[in-house]
Amino acid sequence: MASYVQTSQAETLAPPTERYTLLGWVYKHLLSPWYNLVLTLVGGLLLYAIFKPALTWAFTGARWAVIPANLNLLMRGQYPAEEAWRLWAVIFLLALAGGYNWGVWSKTVGPALITAFAIPWLLMLVPWFSWGTRLNLLIVEAVGLVGYALGRITPKQRSQWAVYAFLAYLLAMLLLLRGLQEGHPTLPMVPTRLWGGLLLSLLLAFFGIVFSFPLGVLLALGRTAERMPAIQTISVLYIEFIRGVPLISLLFMSQVMLQLFLPEDFPQIDHMLRALAAITLFSAAYTAENVRGGLQSIPKGQYEAAASVGLNGYQTMRLIILPQALRAVIPVLVGQFIGLFKDTSLVALVGLFDLLGIARVILANPDWLGTQREVYVFIAFLYWIFSYLMSYSSRRVEEALGVGKF
Amino acid sequence: MMRGPRLYIAGLVAAMVIGMIIAACAGAAPTPVGSEEVAAPAPQQETKSTLDIVRERDKLICVGNANLPGFGFLDEQGNFSGFDVDFCRAVAAAIFGDPDKVEIRPTTAKERFTVLQSGEGDVLFRNTTWTMSRDTDLGLNFGPTTFYDGQGIMVRKDSGIQTLEDLNGASICVQTGTTTELNLADQMAARGIPYEPVVFETADEVTTAYEEGRCDAWTTDKSGLVSRQTVLKNPADHVILDVTLSKEPLGPAVRHGDDQWFDLVNWVVYATFLAEEHGITSENVDTFMDSKDPNIRKLLGLEGEFCAKVGLENDCFYNVIKMVGNYEEIYNRNLGPDTIFNLPRGLNSLYTDGGLLYAPPIR
């Protein structure tokens, strides 16, 4: 007797496919209808007109020898060559701490740290690095993996260790970079005036971000604290004053004018520290405004809900409001931090040898007169690598945290 | 409202933390991580002379330039080098007997005087033109000119231009905001020659524009013209006109108020002139130690106590010559025939060779 129920499974059909060949793709996207054809032709001609001279110059006319000859200056400025191992140690430790954080927080900040590990691979492609440098970069990757493994075996309830590791790293880094005192057998002091090149740019950006973020959050809380008019006024005055002056004027004040205001026998303040203070104070005001935007986006119901379960003001902020507010402003904050990284190039104008400053110095070397294009293209490439990876990793973090998805 | 007072307390804590951070930014500054503890050089100090401050610090801080080819730049090993830098080293050699005890504080054209006035630097060697307003208004004393420069004009050889009058109606590339631009306008107005200025922000842009044919001529200090000519595609196709548009005496400067320090810097520079005058170089200086010429004996500290008059040891000028060299050596090392500049001595020759270098005698 025939059954109404089919006993055997029906044959599974492959989903209908649009058969895409390369030619088909080209035809569909570039050549039809007629106006796309015209656009393709015009675009192609434009690209040709732009890239032909650029590539011709890059491969035939450019004197790229200026880069390898001055690579040490570009990377670490006047930092003594015999102490260069300390810089590598700093990078190894960074990889270890970064890998550890990646292992512990693999769900949230992990994706961002994965992209950070792309940097050494990218840098290995720079044709002027020696094999020793490439080997060191490889060690960076290996150390990072070790850190990752350590992070994975750390029990979940010990995840605050990742934060301690990061703080310990900050101390170790400063100790290694600066050294102990003049003439110490293993760690002689390297005064900050010798720090330069990419090293200085990255340090200014790194510490600028690390210091300005908490300061900015506090300022944002201060500005929104309507029950405390004095604090609110101070925060508003600070934010509006800093946002009303250009960064370069703050830098000039700190580098040039500061010494005139101080008492006569006041010790000279370190130049790098002055620049860092100016950058931090400047960036904090902008961070505050961004965070305030996030705070305002939190509906009143959240405060009321927090109060109804018996949280006090501090707990409300820490557990309910700030996590949501900060998550909402990640893209803006990262944009601002990328801006801060690029703004560090302004310190070149007050006599510090950051990446841009050292480039200008190299151009003054009589042996390399007239190589400004080569040098500027190279440092632009370095700035681009770091800026792009910052923005890319922020996008990964946003995805992991589900920003924009409710 | 239960959260009222608690929020208030939280805010208070936040404010205290802000206050502490701000205080830390200001207060922690004197003992920063990564700072170099430098003894305080203070402006216009009556009690301590500049020389004492320099000695206490155990190094000279020289306000310099890191961006001028031939005069001040970093070599590939990261050491400062150049004409102005060599004079800084000469002063350090005179004071410490060690030309390396000098720290160059690189400055921009705008901040150089402030850095000197504020006491952050001890002496300024930064291709600085000695002008009356700088000498008086800024409270500076200018030492002997180490380099006589002057503004010149470069044209293409095939243009046939030979004098300023030939530039009638020509376009001239010039750097904006410099005295160069003003000098050009003054000189052309004085002669009633119409011309078209094409201004750019940096020297690199000016030379690029000139090379691409956007202007018939370009102008800057003659030393700059010579150094840039060497990197044009065909240096031989270009020529620098004989005419000089301005006087640019470049030399050291110190703050008002410490005449002994001023004398010290002056006589270190003069010592390099005198050494060249007597044919004493860093290589042959030791052969002069048994010289009978009283002028040479005084210069080398074998007779009289002249270095003591500026507060130094008796061999101060000997050290300058031995460790840095005489004027000719300094010049040739940085700007002379063996460098890409190959800059003729011109006004920067000894007075005996028709130049302007004339040092008073040591007596």
Q: Are residues B172 and B137 in the same domain?
A: no
User: Using CA atoms, how far apart are residues B29 and A356, in angstroms rounded to an integer?
Assistant: 26
Please identify, among B222, B246, B270, the residue that sits at the C-terminal boundary of a domain: B246
Spatial distance between the Cα atoms of B51 and A149, rounded to a whole number of angstroms: 59
CATH of the domain at B170: 3.40.190.10
Question: Residue B347 half-sphere exposure, CB side, CA atoms within 13 Å?
Answer: 14
Give the pLDDT band (50/70/90) at residue B27: very low
Judgement on whether residues B337 and B261 belong to the same structural domain of the protein:
yes
Cα–Cα distance between B330 and B84 in angstroms, integer?
9
Q: Which domain holds residue B230?
A: 151-246
Task: Please give, one letter per residue, the 3-state secondary structure of A32-98.
Answer: CCHHHHHHHHHHHHHHHHHHHHHHHHHHHHCCCCHHHHCHHHHHHECCCHHHHHHHHHHHHHHHHHH
Put simply, whether B117 touches A (Cβ < 8 Å) is yes
pTM, two decimal places: 0.80
β-strand partners of B198:
B173
Q: What is the pLDDT of residues B268-293, one digit of tens each?
A: 999 999 999 999 999 999 999 999 99
- The one-letter code for the residue type at B117 is Q
| In a shared domain, residues B170 and B310 | no
pLDDT digits (tens, 9 = 90+) for B113-152: 988 988 889 999 998 889 898 999 999 999 999 999 999 9
Structure confidence at residue A386 (pLDDT): 87
Interface test with B, best of A314, A322, A347, A376 (most B CBs within 10 A): A314
What is the mean pLDDT of the segment spanning B243-267?
A: 93
Q: Are residues B82 and B122 in the same domain?
A: yes
**Collapsing DSSP states into helix, strand and coil, what is residue B9?**
helix
The reply to whether B143 and B156 lie within a common domain is no
| Structural domain contains residue B232 | yes
Closest by CA to B131, choosing from B171, B182, B175, is: B182
Decide the pairing of beta strands B147-149 and B248-250: antiparallel
Mutation to test the B interface, candidates A268, A283, A346, A368, most B Cβ within 10 Å = A268
Distance from the Cα of A206 to chain B's closest Cα (Å) equals: 15
What pLDDT shows up at residue A109?
A: 66
ipTM of the complex: 0.75
Distance from CA of A27 to the nearest CA of B (A): 42
- Closest chain B residue to the Cα of A276, Cα to Cα: B25
Round to whole Å and give the CA distance between A364 and B64. Answer: 13
Which CATH superfamily hosts domain A199-406?
MetI-like (1.10.3720.10)
Contact across the interface for A366 and B66, Cβ inside 8 Å:
no
Do B268 and B346 lie in a common domain? yes
Confidence of residue B4 (pLDDT cuts 50, 70, 90): very low
Closest chain B C-alpha to A369 CA, distance in angstroms: 7
Domain tally for chain B? 2
- Strand segments, DSSP code E, in chain B are 60-64, 73-74, 80-81, 102-106, 123-124, 140-142, 147-149, 151-156, 171-175, 196-200, 217-221, 238-240, 248-250, 253-255
* Predicted local confidence at residue A164, as pLDDT: 86
Q: Give CA–CA dist B21/B32, Å, rounded.
A: 14
Asked if residue B306 belongs to a domain, the reply is: yes
Residue B224 sits in the same domain as residue B254: no
Q: How far is A89 from A86, CA to CA, in rounded Å? A: 5
Which residue in A has a C-alpha nearest to residue B1's C-alpha?
A307
Any idea where the domains of chain A sit in the sequence? 26-61, 80-189, 199-406
User: Could you tell me if B276 and B127 lie in one domain?
Assistant: yes
Sign of CA dihedral B159, B163, B165, B167: positive
| Chain B nearest C-alpha distance from A364 (Å) | 4
At B42 the pLDDT is 45
Could you tell me if residue B10 is inside a domain?
A: no
Amino acid, res. B331: Y
Single out the residue of B295, B354, B359, B305 nearest to residue B327, CA to CA: B359
pLDDT the model gives residue B142: 96
Residues of B in contact with A265 (CB under 8 A): 40, 42
Amino acid at A55: L
DSSP-derived letter for residue A157 is G
The reply to whether B269 and B134 lie within a common domain is yes
Q: Which residue has the higher pLDDT, A15 or B320?
A: B320
Determine, yes or no, domain membership for B176: yes
* Same-domain pairing of B83 and B124: yes
pLDDT digits (tens, 9 = 90+) for B46-96: 568 999 999 999 999 999 988 888 899 999 888 999 999 999 999 999 999
**A256–B115 CB contact, under 8 Å:** yes
Question: Does residue B202 lie within any of the structural domains?
Answer: yes
pLDDT-based confidence at residue B14 (cuts at 50, 70, 90): low
Higher pLDDT, A316 or B228: A316
Cβ separation of A364 and B69 shorter than 8 Å?
yes
Q: What angle do CA A115, A119, A121 make, to 5 degrees?
A: 110
pLDDT (0 to 100) of residue B31: 37
Per-residue pLDDT, B6: 53
Stretch 18-47 of chain B: residues touching chain A, C-beta under 8 Å = 18, 21, 25, 29-30, 32-43, 45
| Domain end point (choices B246, B274, B290) | B246
Which residue in the set A228, A312, A361 is minimally distant from B74, CB to CB?
A361
Q: What is the mean pLDDT of chain B?
A: 85
Picking from A219, A281, A366, the nearest residue to B69 by CB comes out as A366
Query: Whole-angstrom Cα distance, residue B81 to residue A366?
Result: 10
Does one domain contain both B138 and B277? yes
Instruction: Fill in the DSSP letter of residue A349.
Output: G
- Is B110 a residue whose pLDDT tops 90? no
Beta bridge partners of B197: B172
Structure-block tokens of residue B363 = 């007596």
* Same domain membership, residue B260 and residue B116: yes
Q: Give the residue from B195, B223, B246 where a domain finishes.
A: B246
Three-class DSSP category at A353 = coil
Per residue of chain A (406 residues), give pLDDT as tens: 566 787 888 888 887 766 667 887 788 777 778 888 899 899 999 999 999 989 998 888 888 999 999 998 999 899 988 888 899 999 999 888 888 888 887 766 666 677 777 778 888 887 788 888 888 888 988 998 898 888 888 887 777 888 888 888 889 998 898 888 777 888 888 888 889 999 999 999 999 999 999 999 999 999 988 888 999 999 999 999 999 999 999 998 888 777 778 776 777 788 889 999 999 999 999 999 999 999 999 999 999 999 999 998 889 998 999 989 988 888 889 889 999 999 999 998 888 899 999 998 898 888 888 788 899 999 999 999 889 888 888 888 778 777 655 5
